[in-house]
Each structure stands twice: as structure tokens, then as C-alpha cells.
Amino acid sequence: MRIIFFAGKGGVGKTSVSAATGIKVAQMGHKTVVMSLDVAHSLADIFDLDRGLLDKNKGQPIGVSDNLWIQELDIQEEIQRYWGEIHMYFSGLLNMSGLDEVLAEELAVFPGMEEVSLLLYINKYVREKTYDVILLDCAPTGESLRFISIPTTLDWYMKKIFKWERTVAKYVRPLAKRVTDIPLPDDNYFQAIEDLFEKLKGVDQVLVDPEITTVRLVTNPEKVVLKETQRAFMYFCLYKMNIDAIIMNRILPETVTDSYFSNWLKGQQRNLAEAAEFFNPVPIFPVNLFSGEIIGYDYLRDLADQIYADRNPLERFYKEEPYQLIKEKSNYRLKLKLPFVSKKDVELSKMYEELVIRIGGFKRHILLPRQVASLNTVTAKMEGEYLNVVFKGDDHGREKE
């Protein structure tokens, strides 16, 4: 079983790269599904399929060639399948507040429901061993990174809040009916949440197991895109998901000599050099800008060849965590593997929200989460192969107590 997430900013080429990878892996003989949350049905367009086919299929997988399926989730269908009771309670509540019934139903789709639906499918496919390979064409970063925190948040909710809420609702419901018209959720609602939780159980372990799941960040050699990719890199690291490659899409090929593009070319060169500093030691796979849109099987096959050449796309191209960030009381410790390096060779500087590590001619940038970036007392120490950078936080005098 192998799961690969393709994540990145809007329009960078996630759907094309996921589809191309799917084609190559399926041709190698692995039973593969490419899943997407995209409401625009781009997967179907990229494979040049009839959209009507997808609508009829109601968000279930469709076979596109030997060993290859595509699945574009349909949130309305998902609601009927998994969210019935939960959705009913909330749309009822919104409807009570005077909203039109149709609007209330629409609004009762919460942010996160789509992502949870995706996780439900992943877990189902993993449990039932439906496919050998699951490829995920993620929604653009920014909106979608939330999904990686869902399993832990839900776990917390179930352990700390859920039982309590359910019990309170049970005792308060008869009383509440006398004083207010606003319905408290009945026990079906709680049962539905419990069932959902049961179906999600274990998916968090699957996501952080580098033997099964890796993330590939798709990006372009443009400043704004790279900044967002750096941010995504940080979040996946924080949630301990293994990033095993950066796919640098839309590089202008050397054959472009027209003076109109000279600034683009220079800018891209500069950004490519910077990207190596941001993402090192995770490997970067360069992909050229094609001469036209990538639509249909043949172009996708070409794209896959550019990305992977002779490599097996299922390989884990980088196995270690690029860095770890550990909270220790009020301090944060960043732990980074730097073999063959001694402390005197390392030079650290912090610029705004970035930590810059220089070792001779080599430079590495690490974007820091906001709560760490605001701490300005920084110390560093080499311990064995690891560089430990400590960001000292305000302990509000706790240490003296």
C-alpha cells in the first residue's frame, strides 16, 4: 500500500502531476486511484472524459484505463452517505434561525467536511485493501492544509468534549424543550459522530507512516509560489508527514531565447537557486513548461517521464524528517541532522520568520511557525550529528518558582 499526496498553491500543476503519476504507476501494474476534491472536475477534463459520466457516477471511482481509476468526491453525495444526521441537525438549526431551507442546507456544509470525507475514503481503501496505490490531488494549499490536523483535533474532541456533551444533552434536553424552541441534538446525532470517528480511526497513523504515505509539493520557480510552498513544507513537517520530493513545474526550457522572456528566465534561475536552499535535503524534480496545455493520455505520459525519468514513482525519495520542532516547557527546540559538521562551521541568523543556517558556501532557510518566530533569544549546540537550536520563550517567571 502506498499513498502519495500532491499539494501546492492554486494552478501550479497538482492535478496534471497527480494524473501523470497515476498513469505511470498503473502501467507498472499497480491498481491505482487518483482522488480529488476539485469541484471543477479538472481530473475528468485532463483525461479528456465526458463530464456527464462523472455526474452519473456520483463521486464514485471511474476506470479510465487498465489498473487506473479516478474519483472526484461529490460533497452532496457524501453528505447523504456519511453526514446525514449531523447535517440534518445543523441545517435544522440554521433553518430555525429564519434562513430559507435550501440555503440552510447549503450552509450546513462545514469547512472540513470535504476533507474528512476524503480521509474516510482513504481509511476505507486502506482497511479494505481496495487499491495498491492512492494518489491525492489536494485542494490548493492555504485552504487545504487544515486536513492534516483533522484526525488529531477529532481525537481530542472525542476524548475531552464528546462524552461530556452527549451526557449533558441527554439530561438537559427535556428541560430545554420547556424554555426554548432551539433543538438540542438528539442521540442519533451523537451516534453519527461516534460512527464517523470509528470509520476514521487509524487514519492518522497511516498519514504519518513514511512507509505508506509521503507528500510531494508541486511548485513553480516564482517568488510568491515558492513562499507558499515553504509554508506548506513547514506545516507538513510540523505534522510529521514525510515530504519526499518537490516537483518544480513550469521551468522555461533553455531553448527559449526570445528576448521577451529574458526577465522571466533570469528570475527563474534566481528562484531555482533559492529553492535549493529552502528545500534541501529533499530532492527537487524539475519539469519544463510544455508548449501547450497538458491534456490527454499522451501528454500526461510525457509529463510523467519528465518528472520521474527512470525512477519508480512509488519510491520514497527522501526518508528522514527534514527537521523536528519540539516544545520544551516555554522553549522550542529545532533539531536538524547535519552530519560531518562541527559547531564552528555553522553560522546562524534569524531574519523575521526565517532561520538561516550557513555552513561554508551552503545556506539553508527554515520558515518558522509564528509562535517560534516571535522568540528572539536563540542558542545553538551541536550534539553528535544533530544541530539543536533553542528558541527561548518567556516562562513568565515559572522557572524560579
Of these, 27, 99, 132, 140, which contacts ligand ATP (CB under 6 A)?
140
Q: Which is nearer to ligand ATP, 73 or 368 (CB)?
A: 73
Please spell the DSSP secondary structure of 12-80, one letter per residue: SSHHHHHHHHHHHHHHTT--EEEEE--TT-HHHHHTT--HHHHHHHTT--EEEETTEEEEE--HHHHII
**Residue 238 C-beta: closest distance to ligand ATP, Å:** 23
| Cis bond upstream, residue 281 (ω within 30) | yes
Q: Whole-number minimum distance, CB 208 to Mg ion, in Å?
A: 25
Of these partners, ligand ATP, Mg ion, none, which one is at the site of residue 290 (CB under 5 to 8 Å by kind)? ligand ATP
Kindly tell me which of 14 and 87 has the beta carbon lying closer to Mg ion.
14
x-or-dash pattern for ligand ATP, window 242-271, by CB under 6 A?
A: -------xx---------------------
Q: Using alpha carbons, select from 49, 80, 73 the residue that is nearest to residue 136.
A: 73
| CA gap 34, 138 in Å, rounded | 10
Distance CA 162, CA 191 (A): 11
Least distance CB 212 / Mg ion (angstroms): 23
- Binding to ligand ATP (CB under 6 A) within 161-180 occurs at none
When asked if residue 11 is in the footprint of ligand ATP (CB under 6 A), the reply is: yes
Q: Is 289 in the site for ligand ATP (CB under 6 A)?
A: yes
CB of 285 to ligand ATP, least distance (A): 12
> Does residue 338 contact residue 363 with C-beta atoms inside 8 Å?
no
The smaller minimum CB distance to Mg ion, of residues 38 and 105, is found at 38
User: Taking CB within 5 to 8 Å according to partner kind, which of ligand ATP, Mg ion, none is near residue 250?
Assistant: ligand ATP
Shortest distance in whole angstroms from residue 228 CB to ligand ATP: 12
307 contacts ligand ATP (rule: CB under 6 A): no
Which residue in the set 2, 14, 87, 364 belongs to the binding site for ligand ATP (CB under 6 A)? Answer: 14
Distance separating alpha carbons of residues 63 and 288, to the nearest angstrom: 29
Spell out where 88-242 has E strands.
Answer: 133-137, 213-219
Which of these ranges, 95-103, 265-273, 284-292, 342-350, lies near ligand ATP under the rule CB under 6 A? 284-292
Among 18, 209, 226, 204, residue whose Cα is nearest residue 141: 226
d(CA 194, CA 204) in angstroms, rounded, equals 17
Q: 10 Å Cβ neighbour count for 8?
A: 25
Site for Mg ion, residues 307 to 336, rule: CB under 5 A: none
* Cβ pair 331, 393 in contact under 8 A: yes
Please name the residue that has the C-alpha cell 440554521. Answer: 94
Rule CB under 5 A: which residues touch Mg ion? 14-15, 42
Rule CB under 6 A: which residues touch ligand ATP? 8, 10-16, 38, 42, 140, 249-250, 287, 289-290, 293-294
